[in-house]
Amino acid sequence: MVNNMSTQASIFLPDEIYAELARRAPRQDERSSLIAEALLYFFATHQTIDTELEQINSYADELNQEAEDVLNYQVIR
């Protein structure tokens, strides 16, 4: 983990997640490190989409196929 500057943050966790976190990392500094590592892993493994247009474009082929299927279904033969 990168130990540069740190910022204190207050977050809310479901009780069962906090209980597991406290079990695995009983000290505050351990919990902070574990949360930071989990977030770094999440950020590294999940693509970010910056704009709504990029999000729409990422699903364009699927959306176009669905629209074509609907239009084909509606054609009177």
Q: Is residue 44 part of a domain?
A: yes
pLDDT of 74 = 80
pLDDT for 3 beyond 70: no
Tally of structural domains, the chain: 1
Read off the tokens for 52: 């709504």
Q: Is residue 6 part of a domain?
A: no
24-58 pLDDT tens trace: 999 999 999 999 999 999 999 887 777 888 888 88
- Taking the whole predicted model, whether its pTM rises above 0.75 is answered as no
- Is 31 in contact with 22 (CB distance < 8 Å)? yes
d(CA 34, CA 18): 12
Q: What is the dihedral of CA 6, 12, 16, 21, to 10 degrees?
A: 10
Read off the tokens for 9: 């943050």
DSSP 77: -
Q: Is residue 38 part of a domain?
A: yes
